[in-house]
């Protein structure tokens, strides 16, 4: 048996139904995983969000309909596996918690951030409860135990996108997770969710299970973090956009981190930080095709191609902030960045000229924010929505002669808005209209990867 300590994470598609769950349990058993971190059953997080939205809109008919869909997804797995009464009771108790929370939101016509996190956390709490029983039937060498990640995943109280408190998490992992590291137990636990010091449930943001798994790997001092998903590794671009995308056997941490930050959904952007910090090796593979080679993320790779991969980040807005006050003066950038800081809005890329500065943000950050109004008191603000950030990721991309010419020649009729080059030797990115974004990736892939 491998003596390596392994944390294996399975995403929603690896939890889609009983067949997928059994397949994932077999993979984790074959790998002798010490901890198995799971996402909600495929589609359930979206359904829970829709439950909250309908309840807040006081639309009970749709609440019931969405609730039934959530119930059916879980009940059909229970039926197929001929679940014990005890498991059925546990699942029913969690579902009834969802209904009670939705009822509260319906009556108040309001959904607090706390209530929202408690509700959406149920996706992972449900899937892990069922999956523990599936694992019990498959693991032969270890005893499967359901583990409540909230005992160790201590976060701050920024509900919806809480920040894990790394040192606390590590301390708590060493206190409560020793048995799965050295003993004969495999812990099955939840990605995505955490808990504040006073025991309130939080969530880490959409797609956050990858990050949870990386933090647990760091916390228990694991050797390997495995991310099992629905594609057999990291590819040269999203295979949904370019079906000919090639799977990569290896990629560096820096390249993979750029890829994730600039939109590749395969990894949550923060996943690699704990892994790199703690020297945990990271593997990405498919739970559907576990024998495929998959991708290893490494500090150093055999090849260092100019363009290794490309990513697309949709739903971007471009804000152009101009004022003559910027001319030969100082302090203006400080003032505007202070506004972004006050609104806790993160900027993805930026360029400046003598009297203006252009920044890109996720569209969603503008939805409930008065930031445009506040910025408007300091300068002229122009907002362009419906854009996508296209990135090429590779090596020495910031000082390779004629690369820009090659990129833009291959794009012929596509109008490029902002260009960012120079800050990272791994990334060259620019903005295009969302409607042309996929075509842009197709063209670049053909030109640089073939
Ligand atoms: P999970 O539910 O397992 O977390 P996700 O849907 O979050 O899975 O991520 C896997 C998806 O990421 C793939 O199905 C694929 O469409 C998308 N993806 C985006 N960019 C890439 C890439 N460069 N390589 C592989 N997959 C990618
Ligand atoms: N279930 C959560 C989501 O859909 C977290 C995850 O899957 O990583 O966002
Ligand atoms: Mg994911």
- Atom from ligand 2 closest to the CA of residue 46: 4
* Residue 324 domain-assigned (yes or no): yes
Tell me: do 325 and 225 sit in the same domain: no
pLDDT reading at 355 higher than 90: no
Which of 101, 121, 272 is CA-nearest to residue 204? 121
Residue 371 structure tokens: 């930031």
CA distances from 17 to 14, 75, 93, 186, 227 (A): 8, 10, 20, 21, 19
> Which of 131, 208, 231, when mutated, tests ligand 1's pocket best, judged by the most ligand atoms within 8 Å of its CB?
231
* Residue 320 domain-assigned (yes or no): yes
Number of domains in the chain: 2
- Quick one: CA dihedral 226, 230, 98, 58, positive or negative? positive
| Coil, strand or helix at 412 | coil
Query: What's the pLDDT band for 349 if we cut at 50, 70, 90?
Result: confident
pLDDT reading at 111 higher than 60: yes
Specify which of 83-97, 171-185, 355-369 reaches the highest per-range mean pLDDT: 83-97
Query: What's the pLDDT band for 14 if we cut at 50, 70, 90?
Result: very high
* Residue 352 domain-assigned (yes or no): yes
**pLDDT above 90: percentage of residues in the chain:** 83
If 0-12 CB within 10 Å is exposed, 13-18 middle and 19+ buried, where does residue 188 land?
Answer: buried
CATH no. for residue 98? 3.40.1160.10
pLDDT reading at 1 higher than 60: no
pLDDT reading at 367 higher than 90: no
pLDDT of the residue at 17: 98
CA distances from 218 to 10, 136, 378, 398 (A): 17, 25, 44, 32
- Atom from ligand 2 closest to the CA of residue 268: 8
Residue-wise pLDDT for 186-218, tens only, equals: 999 999 999 999 999 999 999 999 999 999 999
CB proximity list for 316: less than 8 A, separation 6 or greater: 348, 360, 361, 362, 363, 387, 388, 389, 431
Max CA-CA distance within the chain? 74
CA 450 to ligand 2 center in whole angstroms:
33
Which ligand has the minimum distance to the alpha carbon of residue 8?
1
* Residue 242 domain-assigned (yes or no): no
pTM summary value: 0.94
Tell me: do 23 and 150 sit in the same domain: yes
pLDDT reading at 272 higher than 60: yes
Tell me: do 311 and 226 sit in the same domain: no
- Atom from ligand 1 closest to the CA of residue 227: 3
CA distances from 356 to 122, 236, 395 (A): 46, 35, 30
DSSP 247: B
Query: What's the pLDDT band for 398 if we cut at 50, 70, 90?
Result: confident
- Atom from ligand 1 closest to the CA of residue 259: 23
Residue-wise pLDDT for 293-348, tens only, equals: 999 999 999 999 999 999 999 999 999 999 887 777 778 888 889 999 999 888 88
pLDDT of the residue at 252: 96
Which ligand has the minimum distance to the alpha carbon of residue 228?
1
Residue that has been written with the tokens 């996720």 in this structure: 362
pLDDT reading at 141 higher than 90: no
Which ligand has the minimum distance to the alpha carbon of residue 265?
1
Which ligand has the minimum distance to the alpha carbon of residue 227?
1
Tell me: do 350 and 218 sit in the same domain: no
* Residue 90 domain-assigned (yes or no): yes
First-last CA distance in the chain = 41
Which of 182, 130, 133, 152 is CA-nearest to residue 15? 130
* Residue 267 domain-assigned (yes or no): no
Name every protein residue with a CB atom under 6 angstroms from any ligand 1 atom.
11-14, 39, 207, 229-231, 234-235, 237-240, 264-266, 309
Report the nearest-CA residue for atom 5 of ligand 1.
266
CB proximity list for 107: less than 8 A, separation 6 or greater: none
Query: What's the pLDDT band for 445 if we cut at 50, 70, 90?
Result: very high
Tell me: do 338 and 201 sit in the same domain: no
Tell me: do 158 and 14 sit in the same domain: yes
pLDDT of the residue at 404: 87
* Residue 88 domain-assigned (yes or no): yes
For residues 178 and 160, the answer to whether their CB atoms sit within 8 Å is no
pLDDT reading at 154 higher than 60: yes
* Residue 397 domain-assigned (yes or no): yes
CATH no. for residue 425? 3.30.2130.10
Report the nearest-CA residue for atom 9 of ligand 2.
206
- Atom from ligand 2 closest to the CA of residue 192: 5
Separation of alpha carbons 22 and 29, rounded Å = 10
pLDDT of the residue at 218: 98
Of 23-32, 352-361, 389-398, give the lowest mean pLDDT range. Answer: 352-361
Tell me: do 15 and 164 sit in the same domain: yes
Tell me: do 79 and 215 sit in the same domain: yes
Q: In what order do the strands lie in the sheet with 427-433?
A: 349-352, 356-362, 307-322, 380-394, 427-433, 416-421
Crossing angle of helices 85-108 and 44-56, in 10° steps, is 30
For residues 45 and 12, the answer to whether their CB atoms sit within 8 Å is yes
In order, the DSSP letters of 108-171 are HT---HHHHHHHHTHHHHHHHHHHHHHHHHH-SSSEEEE--GGGT-BB-S-TTSPPB-HHHHHH
DSSP 324: G
Among residues 230, 256, 277, the one where a domain terminates is 230
| Section 148-165 average pLDDT | 97
Write down the mean pLDDT value for the chain. 94
Number of other CB atoms surrounding residue 195 within 10 Å: 21
| Section 370-393 average pLDDT | 93
Which ligand has the minimum distance to the alpha carbon of residue 38?
2
User: 8 has which bridge partners?
Assistant: 36, 226
Tell me: do 23 and 153 sit in the same domain: yes
Report the C-alpha dihedral over residues 77, 41, 68, 81, rounded to 10 degrees: 10
pLDDT of the residue at 363: 84
Query: What's the pLDDT band for 279 if we cut at 50, 70, 90?
Result: very high
Name every protein residue with a CB atom under 6 angstroms from any ligand 2 atom.
11-12, 39-40, 45, 123, 191-192, 206-209
- Atom from ligand 1 closest to the CA of residue 42: 2
CA 38 to ligand 2 center in whole angstroms:
9
For residues 165 and 173, the answer to whether their CB atoms sit within 8 Å is no
> Which of 207, 215, 268, when mutated, tests ligand 2's pocket best, judged by the most ligand atoms within 8 Å of its CB?
207
Tell me: do 192 and 319 sit in the same domain: no
pLDDT reading at 118 higher than 70: yes
Tell me: do 323 and 439 sit in the same domain: yes
Number of C-alpha atoms within 13 angstroms, CB side, residue 433? 5
Among residues 208, 230, 252, the one where a domain terminates is 230
| Boundaries of domain holding 185 | 6-230
Among residues 230, 254, 289, the one where a domain terminates is 230
Tell me: do 88 and 182 sit in the same domain: yes
pLDDT of the residue at 2: 57
């Amino acid at each position: 048996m491998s003596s390596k300590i392994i944390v294996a994470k399975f995403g929603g598609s690896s939890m889609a139904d009983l067949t997928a769950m059994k397949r994932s349990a077999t993979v984790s058993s074959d790998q002798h995983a010490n901890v198995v971190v799971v996402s909600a059953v495929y589609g359930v997080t979206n359904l829970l969000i829709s439950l909250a939205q309908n309840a807040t809109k006081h639309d009970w008919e749709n609440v019931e309909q969405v609730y039934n869909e959530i119930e059916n997804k879980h009940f059909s797995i229970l039926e197929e596996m001929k679940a014990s009464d005890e498991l059925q009771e546990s699942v029913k108790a969690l579902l009834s918690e969802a209904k009670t929370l939705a009822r509260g939101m319906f009556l108040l016509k309001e959904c607090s951030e706390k209530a929202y996190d408690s509700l959406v956390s149920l996706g992972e709490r449900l899937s892990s409860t069922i999956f523990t029983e599936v694992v019990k039937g498959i693991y032969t060498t270890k005893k499967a135990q359901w583990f409540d990640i909230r005992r160790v995943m201590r976060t701050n109280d920024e509900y919806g996108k809480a920040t894990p408190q790394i040192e606390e998490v590590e301390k708590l992992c060493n206190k409560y997770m020793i048995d799965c590291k050295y003993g004969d137990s495999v812990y099955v636990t939840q990605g995505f969710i955490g808990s504040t010091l006073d025991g309130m449930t939080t969530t880490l943001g959409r797609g956050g299970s990858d990050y949870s798994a990386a933090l647990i790997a760091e916390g228990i001092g694991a050797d390997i973090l495995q991310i099992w998903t629905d594609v057999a590794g990291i590819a040269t671009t999203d295979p949904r956009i370019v079906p000919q995308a090639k799977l990569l056997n290896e990629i560096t941490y820096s390249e993979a981190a750029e890829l994730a930050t600039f939109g590749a959904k395969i990894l949550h952007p923060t996943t690699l930080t704990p892994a790199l910090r703690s020297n945990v090796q990271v593997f990405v593979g498919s739970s559907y095709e576990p024998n495929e080679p998959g991708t290893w993320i490494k500090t150093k790779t055999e090849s260092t191609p100019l363009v290794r991969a490309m990513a697309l980040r949709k739903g971007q807005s471009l804000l152009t902030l101009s004022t003559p006050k910027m001319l030969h003066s100082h302090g203006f950038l400080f003032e505007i960045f202070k506004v972004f800081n006050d609104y806790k809005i993160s900027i993805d890329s930026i360029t400046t000229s003598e009297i203006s500065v252009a920044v890109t943000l996720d569209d969603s950050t503008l939805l409930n924010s008065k930031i445009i109004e506040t910025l408007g008191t300091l300068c002229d603000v122009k907002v362009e929505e419906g854009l996508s950030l296209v990135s090429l990721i590779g090596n020495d991309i910031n000082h390779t002669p004629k690369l820009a010419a090659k990129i833009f020649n291959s794009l012929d009729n596509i109008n490029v808005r902002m260009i960012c080059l120079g800050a990272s030797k791994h990334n060259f990115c620019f903005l295009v209209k969302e409607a042309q974004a996929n075509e842009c990736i197709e063209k670049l892939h053909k030109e640089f990867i073939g």
